[in-house]
DNA sequence: CTATAGTATTTTGCATACAAAAATCAAACG
DNA sequence: CGTTTGATTTTTGTATGCAAAATACTATAG
């Protein structure tokens, strides 16, 4: 259009913008989205928007129907339950390996992330939710890196529908979040103590608790999160 | 080049071609790949190749280094072990769910497949191997379908496909294959008996045995689990 | 001969163009 | 009034062009 030398990664910009719109509810569940409209709104061309959408599809924020219909993903409660079960299997294993292979720097990083989450728990504002959510994501990713198994990481990233997780976060009660924070601390300690079984066990509890919350949340209606 | 608007999914074509080249070894581990060269080889433009590569990166077949270096992901020897551990986790869970959700028709089908495999075990000819292999594949797929979890199915098929092409015939001794056939029968019985724990337990044994064979076979080839 | 600086060549990221598939709309028909 | 069919407009998939970043190459200095 008129912006030739844009050196700020357009794909990232599109990705975050759309993702944010989905999480904020600006784009509602089931709403149809098109590359062109998104591109126009952002003042970008279709190419980076297209790539961003591909990524969002892979992560489960967006889904393609038959033909040219692309819409904000809506997910079944059953799927959410399944996802947590699978995560439990894979991430427990990952945590055990992390206890074995994590570097001191990674352990330190986990401590920082745990502390950050605790500092904002229970959350008092929307921004607290965002901070917790982001730190949580990074926490789990750091553990998987520490597990030193690219294949495992790839599988988990396929298994985990980030969109589902992010959108259900606001369904956690304060008690849930406090316990979650405690779990993070305990997982960190288990890894620091180099105890694979302990780490796996706590991770398992952590995700079973999450699965239970997911099931419980199925009763209520979701008013589109933060 | 001179190809007017090909309507046969170019992205899929590129994806499968590159993936296949990686699995077959045509593209070696650590080898650098560029969009342009891939596109030229396939007679496509960069765009679909680019998308295919993005997908492959996300799935862990390809990795980006710093800058413009994109190369075939390095496949550690140790990852073989990981692969079986992961498969053990996922397929045991799948077997448990199958015990819960399989239809009578599916149970019947599993019985037929087990019987067919037994009838050709130990194999006396190359065609016996092929029959066993085909029945084995169908057996596992049927269990997966019976598990009623598309996400799980997708993950397992990924885990199995990664680096595990069908050139594993000679790694199994007759004793191995006899035991494998016994496992299949027992898994079928466990599912027929609607016992998730039994099914999961036998499946676990089944894959641990396969892992052990893989370790015994050395660092070179990767067997599929019969 | 090695190291380094400067240049030339790749390689990617983004924008744009165009054709085919799909969706939308409208008119004809029951 | 509802349904179907045909034309019109979106919308996507793919190709292509271009500029900037990164790599490879070359020549020069030490």
Interface test with A, best of B151, B153, B160 (most A CBs within 10 A): B151
Percent of chain A with pLDDT over 90: 57
Q: With b meaning 16 or more CB within 10 Å and e meaning fewer, what string describes A57-82?
A: ebbbbbbeeeeeebbbbebeeebbbb
Residue numbers of the domain that contains A179: 77-217
Same domain, A67 and A17: yes
Q: HEC string of B155-218?
A: HHHHHHHCCCCCCCHHHCCHHHHHHHHHHHHHHHHHHHCCCHHHHHHHHHHHHHHHHHHHHHCC
The answer to whether position A86 is within a domain reads: yes
Mark the nucleotides of strand D covered by protein, meaning any atom under 7 Å from a CB: 10-17, 19-23
Residues A13 and A42 sit within 8 Å (Cβ to Cβ) = yes
The answer to whether position A1 is within a domain reads: no
Same domain, B32 and B62: yes
Same domain, B45 and B85: no
For B163, the closest chain A residue by CA position comes to: A151
A169, pLDDT greater than 80? no
* Protein CA at A43 to nucleotide C1' at C2, angstroms: 50
Residues A108 and A127 sit within 8 Å (Cβ to Cβ) = no
Same domain, B153 and B82: yes
pLDDT tens, N- to C-terminus, chain B (226 residues): 434 344 568 999 999 999 989 888 899 989 999 999 999 999 999 999 999 999 999 888 899 998 899 999 887 667 777 888 888 999 999 999 999 999 999 999 999 999 999 999 888 888 888 888 889 889 998 999 999 987 888 788 777 654 444 445 456 788 888 999 999 999 999 999 999 999 999 999 999 988 887 777 654 444 455 5
Same domain, A128 and A194: yes
Residues B43 and B1 sit within 8 Å (Cβ to Cβ) = yes
The answer to whether position A3 is within a domain reads: no
Q: What is the mean pLDDT of residues A104-120?
A: 95
Domain count, chain A: 2
The answer to whether position B4 is within a domain reads: no
Name the residue with higher pLDDT: B21 or A4.
B21
Same domain, B127 and B63: no
Of the residues B29, B47, B72, which one is the last residue of a structural domain? B72
Task: Dump pLDDT digits (tens) for A57-90.
Answer: 988 889 998 889 999 988 777 888 888 899 999 9
The answer to whether position A2 is within a domain reads: no
Task: Dump pLDDT digits (tens) for A171-205.
Answer: 778 888 899 999 999 999 999 999 999 999 999 99
Identify nearest nucleotide to residue A36 by CA to C1′ distance: D11
* Residue A54 forms contact with B (CB below 8 Å): yes
The answer to whether position A30 is within a domain reads: yes
Give the C-alpha separation, B126 to B112, whole Å.
21
Interface test with B, best of A11, A151, A164 (most B CBs within 10 A): A151
CA A51 to chain B, closest CA, distance in angstroms equals 8
Q: A204 contacts in B (CB within 8 Å)?
A: none
Give the C-alpha separation, A88 to A95, whole Å.
10
A222, pLDDT greater than 80? no
* Residue A53 forms contact with B (CB below 8 Å): no
Residue where the block lists tokens 């006396």: B124
Phi, psi of B31 (to 5 degrees): -70, 140
Same domain, A93 and A190: yes
Considering only CA atoms, which of B181, B146, B170, B148 is closest in space to residue B222? B170
The pLDDT, as a whole number, for residue B190 is: 98
Q: A82 contacts in B (CB within 8 Å)?
A: 149, 151-152
The pLDDT, as a whole number, for residue B59 is: 83
In this prediction, residue A156 has a pLDDT band, given cuts at 50, 70 and 90, of confident
Identify nearest nucleotide to residue A45 by CA to C1′ distance: C15
CB under 8 A, 24+ apart: contacts of A25-32? A25/A223, A25/A224, A25/A225, A27/A72, A28/A72, A28/A224, A29/A72, A29/A73, A29/A74, A29/A222, A29/A224, A30/A71, A30/A72, A30/A74, A31/A71, A31/A72, A32/A69, A32/A70, A32/A71
Nearest to A154 among B54, B60, B93 (CB): B60
A3, pLDDT greater than 60? no
CATH number for the domain that contains residue A52 = 1.10.10.10
Of the residues B46, B72, B98, which one is the last residue of a structural domain? B72
Touching B: A residues 123-152, CB under 8 Å: 149-152
């Amino acid at each position: 259009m008129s912006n030739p030398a844009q050196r700020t990664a357009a794909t990232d910009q599109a990705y975050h913008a759309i993702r944010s719109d989905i999480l904020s509810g600006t784009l509602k569940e089931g709403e149809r989205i098109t590359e062109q409209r998104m591109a126009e709104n952002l003042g970008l061309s279709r190419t980076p928007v297209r790539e961003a959408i591909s990524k969002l599809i892979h992560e489960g924020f967006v889904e393609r129907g038959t033909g040219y219909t692309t819409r904000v993903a809506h997910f079944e409660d059953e799927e959410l339950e399944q996802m947590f079960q699978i995560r439990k299997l894979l991430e427990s294993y990952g945590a055990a390996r992390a206890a074995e292979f994590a570097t001191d720097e990674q352990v330190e990083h986990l401590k920082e992330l745990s502390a950050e989450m605790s500092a904002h728990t229970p959350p008092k504002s929307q921004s607290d939710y965002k901070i917790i959510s982001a730190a949580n994501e990074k926490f789990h990713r750091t553990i998987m890196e520490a597990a030193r198994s690219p294949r495992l990481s790839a599988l988990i990233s396929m298994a985990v529908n980030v969109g589902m997780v992010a959108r259900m976060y606001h369904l956690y009660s304060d008690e849930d979040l406090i316990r979650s924070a405690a779990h993070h601390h305990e997982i960190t300690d288990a890894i620091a103590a180099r105890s694979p079984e302990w780490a796996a066990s706590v991770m398992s509890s952590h995700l079973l608790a999450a699965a239970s919350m997911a099931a419980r949340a199925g009763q209520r209606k979701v008013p589109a999160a933060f």
